[in-house]
Chain A
Amino acid sequence: MVENLAFMDIFGIWVRAFFILAIFSFLYKDNAVYKFAEHVFAGLSAGYYVGLIWQTVIIQQLVNPMFDEGDWVLVFPGILGILMFARLIPKWSWVSRVSLAFVIGNTAGIYLIQSLHGMIFKQIYPMMDSLDFGAGFDRILLVLIVIVGVISTLIYFYFSKEHTGLMGVTAKVGIWFIMIAFGAHFGYTVMGRISLLIGRAEFLYYEWGGSLIHLF
């Protein structure tokens, strides 16, 4: 049993190594091995998600509460869910709008409160508190930079009026803030992508390399 397990562990490591190298082979040029790995990944993910949604949504959140716990009010969301499939029949596709209207209305209501109380107010209050002169010059300067940055960036994305005069100058200031923000994001994104590469390289070096030593 232990031998079988050890063999399966090594087999798993080799399968993973094959798919990693197959995906990386695209860096040399597009090829059949890369395409095979890509299709296997897409197929597996789709299959996994179908099973997952069936188990965690349909069974866990609809069927079990209704039949095991008698929570029959769930019939209504169940019907709304079934109505979504009306999109598959062109003549009846309009029926799915009932479900979509409920989802959109519900989502908008939840997210509006969440954004206002969780994001907008929570961000504005501490910033306004910092405008206290007792907070020190550097703090006030930082807050003023944030205020200028937010307003000028918003004006850059306001397209209902031509960007000329004061509006044009403010939009140009906004571009600078956007570029600085993009620069910071880009730097972090490079770091993130390299980290992912390091993760795969560590797997190839330590685990796959280790399994090679184990085999020979």
Chain B
Amino acid sequence: MKFWDRVANIDRRWIYLMVAAAVFFPMIVVMKFPVELTPETRQLFNAIDSLPDSSVVMLTFDYYPSAMAETRPMSEAALRHMFSKNMKVVTLSNIPLGGPTIAESVTRAIAKEYGKVYGVDYVNLGYRANYVAVMHGLASSIESIFKSDFTGTSLKDLPLMDHVKNYRDIKFIFVVADNATIDYWISIVNAQYGVPVGGGVTAVVAPKMYAFVEARQLTGLLGGMKGAAEYEKMVKIAGSATRGMDSQSLVHLLIIFFVIVGNISFFITRRKDKGSA
């Protein structure tokens, strides 16, 4: 009984230490847990894959740097998929804190790998305040909202933007978000302007999104690091999400173990308390 009393009163710092060990262990010893594909990921991949080559697509970086572990691999995998199909990519961010900078660094790096030219194959519009007004405004004219790109270059000087004037010229919008902006992409841009929208969101946001996938308001969904790892698998790259899933799986096993042990200890110590009362 003493053992279960000790388990029930274990210092939580030991638990933190075990979680830290479970996170770092797969970085030292590669474990390669399997990543199973979900229908939502396949749906998103197929939606982009079935677009004709050279289609213009929009990719949003609606996330803060704090959520990068989950969202950045999604953006990178999406860009690799799009550039490998020679699509023209227009990026923007509705998040002022870090979003535009992440968009710039990620897009430039991936574009360089595929030999894509800025202004011809891709454009980073950057950030404008008030995302509801931005989403409505882009429907009539991109240039009315973004007079220049992220670097301050006028849209008139970017050849890609000669034939991309509003949503009618965009075949698909891939929203990568860690917050409620995706709700507005769905309820404004998809519902009111009819542009197909796919989503890559953090795990915290994901449960709410399944209703939109079910109603076909969202064409596919990536949920958290698991979703990012699935997309990396579809695109056939082993990125940071695939690597992180080893730690993720190991910590989940540890949490399941803690839940079982915690419940056993709870019931045993409660029975003991009742017996002694």
Chain A residues, Cβ within 8 Å of B204: 185, 188-189, 192
Within 8 A of B (CB), among A179-216: 181, 184-185, 188-192, 194-202, 205-206
Chain A residues, Cβ within 8 Å of B67: 196
Q: Are A201 and B27 in contact (CB under 8 A)?
A: yes
Q: Please give the distance in Å from A34's CB to the nearest CB on chain B.
A: 14
Q: Are A48 and B69 in contact (CB under 8 A)?
A: no
Q: Are B127 and A185 in contact (CB under 8 A)?
A: no
CA distance in complex: A119, B190 (Å): 11
Report if A175 contacts B (CB, 8 A): no
A45's nearest neighbour on chain B, judged by CB, is B97
Which of B127, B132, B206, B225 touches A198 (beta carbons < 8 Å)?
B225
Stretch at the interface among B48-56, B159-167, B239-247, B269-277: B239-247
Q: Are A205 and B223 in contact (CB under 8 A)?
A: no
CA distance in complex: A60, B216 (Å): 37
Main secondary structure of the interface of A (DSSP, over half): helix
CA distance in complex: A25, B147 (Å): 45
CA distance in complex: A110, B137 (Å): 14
Q: Please give the distance in Å from A5's CB to the nearest CB on chain B.
A: 15
Report if B18 contacts A (CB, 8 A): no
Q: Are A188 and B206 in contact (CB under 8 A)?
A: yes
Q: Are A117 and B192 in contact (CB under 8 A)?
A: yes
Report if B6 contacts A (CB, 8 A): no
Q: Are A123 and B211 in contact (CB under 8 A)?
A: yes
Q: Are A126 and B187 in contact (CB under 8 A)?
A: no
Chain B residues, Cβ within 8 Å of A188: 203-204, 206-207, 223-224
Which of A27, A53, A126, A190 touches B214 (beta carbons < 8 Å)?
A126
Within 8 A of A (CB), among B180-213: 184, 186-188, 190-192, 202-204, 206-207, 211
CA distance in complex: A197, B252 (Å): 13
**What size tier do the contact residues of chain B reach?**
35 or more
CA distance in complex: A56, B206 (Å): 30
Report if B23 contacts A (CB, 8 A): yes
Report if B42 contacts A (CB, 8 A): no
Question: Could you mark each residue 66-97 of chain A with 1 if its beta carbon is under 8 Å from any beta carbon of chain B, else 0?
Answer: 00000000000000000000000000000000
Chain B residues, Cβ within 8 Å of A48: 97
CA distance in complex: A48, B97 (Å): 8
**What size tier do the contact residues of chain A reach?**
35 or more
Q: Are A110 and B217 in contact (CB under 8 A)?
A: no
Q: Are A28 and B13 in contact (CB under 8 A)?
A: yes
Within 8 A of A (CB), among B252-272: 252, 255
Report if B151 contacts A (CB, 8 A): no
Given contacts A191-B225, A191-B226, A202-B27, contact A196 B216 (CB under 8 A): no
Chain A residues, Cβ within 8 Å of B223: 188
A189's nearest neighbour on chain B, judged by CB, is B204
Chain A residues, Cβ within 8 Å of B121: none
9 smallest CB-CB distances across A and B, nearest first, come from A199-B69, A118-B187, A192-B203, A118-B191, A195-B225, A191-B203, A192-B204, A56-B129, A188-B203
Which residues of B come within 8 Å of A, CB atoms? 13, 16, 19-20, 23-24, 27, 66-70, 96-97, 127-130, 132, 184, 186-188, 190-192, 202-204, 206-207, 211, 214-217, 223-226, 240, 243-244, 247-248, 251-252, 255
Q: A114-B187, A118-B191, A189-B203 are in contact. List 20 more A-B contacts (CB 8 A).
A: A27-B13, A28-B13, A56-B127, A110-B132, A118-B190, A122-B187, A122-B217, A123-B211, A123-B217, A181-B207, A184-B207, A185-B204, A191-B248, A197-B19, A198-B225, A198-B251, A199-B69, A200-B69, A202-B27, A205-B27
